[in-house]
Structure 1
Amino acid sequence: MSEPLRFSAFVMNTTSHILHGAWRAPEARQTDFNSLEHWIELAKVLEDAVFDFIFFADVVGLYDDYQGDWKKFVDSGLQIPSNDPLVIASALASHTENLGIAITSSILQEHPFDFARKISTLDHASRGRIAWNIVTSLSSNAWRNFGHDGITRHDDRYAWADEYVDVVYKLWEGSWEDGALIQDKKSGIHADFDKVHKINHVGEHYRVEGPHLVSPSPQRTPVLFQAGSSPTGRRFAARNAEAQFIVSPNPAAARALIDDTRRLTAEAGRDPRDLTFFQGLSFVVGSTEAEAARKAAELDELIDPATIIAHSAGGLGVDLGHYDLDTPIGDIETQGTQSTLIWLRESVPDREPTVRDLAQLRSRSGRVVGTPEQIADRLDEWRDAGVGGINVINATIPNSYVEFADHVLPVLRDRGLARREYVPGTTRGKLTGRDRLPDTHPAARYRGAFAESLEGATA
């Protein structure tokens, strides 16, 4: 019997995240993103619905120019203003007990020593409910914000990411041994010095002596998400990720992507079952087909196609505002994200897709329209394709999640497609049945590694 699907709420600490223009709907409250209470209330809604994660996307710069400048982003609220989700994570943890909190953080934006310390602190504060979405930042503005001349080439970014994760793995898994924190009031020994180690990392990008300043948290390493669909990105996910966010245009394409990534996972020495795939989908729910179609048409009236193009173009690293709509995508050279190009070619398999295709398809990509029963039918097809979770994209907050919880989830539970309650334990425990990474994960090689090097040095 197949496992029930996992569910993640895909959000961003901004007004206009994915379905640009939907924030203008009368019921939309994503304009309240500056309010901490807004996010706490949403987290409670999600936990009541037994969602596995609230998944925060994030950026640290504007997307590349549209029609020559960045005016469109400000005019339409395209991920600006955008607040740091890491800052509010502890508040969400304090108002929930089971909901996983996934934070996107780029290798660019924070030194790995400080990032590892913050994540370990959050994992303690949440009793083991933190996840990290590993990204490499795809906008030139983001790289210039951190002192670089421009974006590093695609494959070079992943080489940088390899070292970044290596540093945090050493800190999370190798710096403190289990049982090192004693806190013995009678003897006055707080921690066992022989079980706490410096990591002495020296690499191309970082020199980190250590030790990690935080004792091991319930998960040690947070649950690891990754979203790259390019060949290089999938190899990175195969080595590191426990969950991968995908945006395949249909179940058949998802099956091909999943099968190939699982093959890469096995080649990396890991169990292919250790990687769960979360497909990004949005939902328009109606009590009848006619009602669902009407609501979808109303949503289309709100969607801003130009902002959709500006967002997609920013991900590619080129200004599509200067191209004719019939320009073949293959004629446009980019060092940006390759997953958009892969998705577009999968969506238009019989010819070379154009800029016009990108605009039309992006506005409705991953949208499932229908009654709760029809939506359940579609989700069953995605599960049969190997998808283990759904990253639920919102049109409006909180309504998109309230409608899904009230009308779709009961049908899914009756069909065995969704869980009725949480199991106890950490977020990794809920996802995989274990609190810590398995021994086959590359981070596990640092368990005990620094104690051994110390013994060798003093022998």
Structure 2
Amino acid sequence: MSRPRMIFNAFNIFSASHHDQGMWAWPTSRQLEYNSFDYWVDVARLLERGHFDTLFFADVLAPYETFSNSRELAVRSGMQFPINDPGELIPALAYATSDLGFVLTQNILQEPPYTFARKMSTLDHLTRGRIAWNIVTTFLPGAGRNLGLGGLPEHEDRYARADDFTDVVYKLWEASWEDDAVLRDRVTKQYSDPAKIHQIDHVGPFYDVTGPHLCEPSPQRTPFLVQAGVSPRGRAFAGRNAEALFINSLDPASAAPVVADVRRAAEQAGRRRDNVKLLAILGFVVGSTEEEARRLHEEITDFQSIEANLAKQSVFLGHDFSQYDPVEPISEIARRPEGRQGILGELIAMSPRTDITVGELVRWYGNLRVVGTPEQIADQIEAWQDAGVDGLNVQYVTSPGTFEDFVDQVAPVLRSRGLMQDRYGEGTLREKIFGQGPFLPDEHRARGFRRAAWGDGS
């Protein structure tokens, strides 16, 4: 029986390496070309050939430095460093494609909402309505220092800032320009009607913004809204704001309660449960047989540096692994208190074997992925859908090789099961995803600012 189609995003970063550390050195990888337009255009066109929904750009504003309180290992291994600004790249990729969407990650501390609103409207115009904003509050203390904040604001404070930030940009995108404000009348030489372009006069706890918005309404007005963050505060924020939420669940079973909670949050915000699409992450290695895939997976894992994986997981697990000798067997650590509790205890409990070192264990954890034939990978994707997940961010091992494998081997199986689109819908990214109009639905809180300004809900 055919299933509803899922959303597929290619998870990437404007750097030589994203999550699989050191794979930029793999013989067939082109990741060292990351400063080249030609490389990125080839990636974007490959994804469009495979009918991916978006190219999803992650981003960071500081080197990773949790491991031993130092950035040395991250810098040495090229772990998301150096890194460029994906916002500068997207217009060229949009010009080279016709339907692929683009997700820009930008945190709410990065620039004032007034200039950010102009940036996103510009991208929405230049992409013909194919831009999305991944709303993040950042988790790196270095980003807070680099942005002149003296460090990272507290978690609740960051979300309070996000509330105020989104209020400002929603007012600019939705309430500043009326639909018929732009005239472009060649006879009278009048471009727009001043009476239909409004200040927003926002006064909030963090931002005071007068307006009006500098850009005329773009194809989506408000870009497609994505969010990453699944804390209780993050889920509530997603219920009010996100059209898609990127969750960090490791498997379908752990995703199901998160999915249910976010859908309840959407209802509590006056939205429909299906107004928020839930996105999980998919890492995979594919082979013509399971044995072939397993051999390749082991070769990839062995190719990676243990030290770089320790540095990466120190950040993502919030635990400095430099305090352990990486060559010490976990069987020895398990006898001590730290080996039976906390993050390390959880990892040891998950370990596939007892005869590995702590460094090998962390590298194994960093290489958890689906390994098998195209059919087996499709089976796992079905399990994600059964858990209520609407789509997947496909993570590469090497680029563009992993995406080529997905497009040529996995996607045909998914399409045969109805899980992946075989053609793009018409219109903007929002229309392609939801099959409705180009603008946010009326129940979204951003449209409330529009109704408050104009009073007619138009």
TM norm structure 2:
0.90
**How many percent identity over aligned positions?**
47
Partner residue of 2:427 out of 422, 425, 428: 425
1:377 Cα shift?
A: 1.2
1:227 Cα shift?
A: 1.1
Q: Is the 8 A contact 1:254 1:387 kept in 2?
A: yes
What is the CA deviation profile of residues 161-196 of structure 1, one whole-angstrom value per residue up to 9, with x for unaligned ones?
A: 111111111111111111110111112221112211
> Equivalent residue for 2:205?
204
> Equivalent residue for 1:281?
282
Partner residue of 2:398 out of 390, 396, 399: 396
Q: Name the CA shift for 1:159/1:344 in 2 (closer, same or farther; >3 Å).
A: farther
Aligned ranges 1:209-224 → 2 under 5 Å = 209-224=210-225
> Equivalent residue for 1:416?
418
> Equivalent residue for 1:195?
196
Amino acid at match of 1:13: F
What is the CA deviation profile of residues 86-110 of structure 1, one whole-angstrom value per residue up to 9, with x for unaligned ones?
A: 0011001101110001000011111
> Equivalent residue for 2:367?
364
Aligned ranges 1:76-115 → 2 under 5 Å = 76-115=77-116
Amino acid at match of 1:428: R
1:254 Cα shift?
A: 1.1
Aligned ranges 1:22-421 → 2 under 5 Å = 22-315=23-316, 319-322=320-323, 327=338, 359-360=362-363, 362-365=365-368, 367-421=369-423
How far, CA to CA, are the matches of 2:364 and 2:181 in structure 1?
A: 54
Aligned length: 437
Q: Is the 8 A contact 2:277 2:390 kept in 1?
A: yes
What is the CA deviation profile of residues 92-134 of structure 1, one whole-angstrom value per residue up to 9, with x for unaligned ones?
A: 1101110001000011111111111011011011110000101
Amino acid at match of 1:398: P
- Structure 2, gaps ≥5 residues long: 352-357
Q: Name the CA shift for 1:360/1:81 in 2 (closer, same or farther; >3 Å).
A: closer
> Equivalent residue for 1:456?
none
2:219 aligns to what SS in structure 1? Answer: coil
TM norm structure 1:
0.90
How far, CA to CA, are the matches of 1:329 and 1:437 in structure 2?
A: 48
1:306 Cα shift?
A: 2.5
How far, CA to CA, are the matches of 2:204 and 2:12 in structure 1?
A: 34
Aligned ranges 1:416-455 → 2 under 5 Å = 416-433=418-435, 434-451=437-454
Q: Is the 8 A contact 1:197 1:451 kept in 2?
A: no
Q: Name the CA shift for 1:331/1:6 in 2 (closer, same or farther; >3 Å).
A: closer
Q: Name the CA shift for 1:323/1:137 in 2 (closer, same or farther; >3 Å).
A: farther
1:331 Cα shift?
A: 5.7
Amino acid at match of 1:450: A
How far, CA to CA, are the matches of 2:347 and 2:5 in structure 1?
A: 29
> Equivalent residue for 1:337?
none
Relative to structure 2, which stretch is displaced further, 184-193 or 137-146?
184-193
Q: Is the 8 A contact 1:138 1:315 kept in 2?
A: no
Amino acid at match of 1:397: S
